Structure 1
């Protein structure tokens, strides 16, 4: 998989190359796209499947950048790479077209794994942020207002979706909620039907892009 970094700092590019060098069998850093460049056609020129947008909290607005990249490079998958840990930023970035939101605290192997999953069609949120989102959903459920109710999801279905966002498997969800695995599968079928999707990847994408945990 070929990756292009969208950033104006050459040191960031060199650091990214170094971090991913041991994983070049999975991810190759093809080059750099400057923010001052004409972004249209950037991924084609570099043969990149993923555009990794390195965003400083005090710098380029991640939401504006995600929107620009998604509009001019619809064939490439846009990933925000930042230190900004606002749940609202995650929801907004995904809603505006980003396919991933990853924190710079990730190690090289974790970053490579996340990028491969995104290339394969998943929407990936950094594990730290996914955990916070799931905990927020659980707290809302305790108070009687659960995320997803506006989409027709029951309280239990919302709990299952929150764990999906956190990357848990059916078996892990069953253990976490003290349910049978077949019961979890039944909940998933109901969730997919209500969200009009066919799999967990698209269910997670809808949940995140609609920002139902905010």
Structure 2
């Protein structure tokens, strides 16, 4: 049996933290290794406990979630950050993704979907709730559908070969956050909402061979 997925739960409300602990309790596939009540604690615990995934609230006193995500990226903490928040406003979503979050879910996400999202985050896959994905695509939608930049095509080609965001970033000497931004832009230009559809559409239109 493989080792459990190690989780750090970050939220300033004890009731929310307890609820999340309850979701993962009794499932041998997951282990909650720590809890934090703000961004500063999240960074400290992530460094000390080496979790696989950090479930990160955004609006917290002191250091907020976006600042904590940026700090974790700057420290090159290996943990994937999965935002779990009540808010899906434009001012919350895009900064969190650009800071380096692997995914963005709302707190009303059903348990089964949350567990799937954590598994996907460990694999380096982007996870977005449907309303969040729609908002992101609306923000970055460009009028020219097929006018992909050279860098967007490079990212798309690597994704088509099965590269994760981290692997694509390493090969192109850019950050994972930049890869995510390129992906969001090319999704909008191609009129799709995920990696598989982007690759399929790109092959159909002759953008990839």
Q: What's the TM-score bracket when you normalise by the shorter of the two chains? A: 0.5 to 0.7
CA separation of 1:83/1:102 partners in 2, compared to 1, >3 Å: closer, same or farther? same
Matching residue of 1:210: none
Note the C-alpha offset of 1:162: 4.2
Gaps of 5+ in 1: 191-214
Partners in 2 of 1:128 and 1:61 — Cα distance?
Answer: 22
Give aligned pairs, total.
Answer: 172
- Higher RCO structure, 1 or 2 (CA under 8 Å, sep 6+): 1
Please list every run of 5 or more consecutive structure 2 residues that lacks an aligned counterpart in the other structure.
Answer: 154-185
Q: How does 1:96-111 map to 2 (within 5 A)?
A: 96-111=99-114
- Matching of residue 131 in structure 1 with residue 158 in structure 2: no
Residues 49 and 148 from structure 1, CA distance in 2 versus in 1: closer, same or farther, beyond 3 angstroms?
Answer: farther
Answer yes or no: is the 8 Å Cα contact 1:146–1:158 preserved in 2.
no
> Aligned runs of 1:1-214 on 2, under 5 Å?
1-21=5-25, 24-35=27-38, 39-56=42-59, 61-72=64-75, 74-134=77-137, 145-146=143-144, 149=147, 151=149, 161-163=190-192, 166-167=193-194, 169-170=196-197, 183=204, 186-187=206-207, 189=208
**Structure 1 residues 133 and 59: alpha-carbon distance in aligned structure 2, compared to 1, 3 A threshold:** same
Give the Cα–Cα distance (whole angstroms) in 1 for the partners of residues 45 and 61 of structure 2: 25
1:79–1:100 CA contact under 8 A, matched in 2 = yes
Query: Partners in 2 of 1:59 and 1:38 — Cα distance?
Result: 10
SS of residue in 2 equivalent to 1:98: coil
Give the aligned CA root-mean-square deviation in angstroms: 3.6
Instruction: Say which SS state the counterpart of residue 55 (structure 1) adopts.
Output: coil
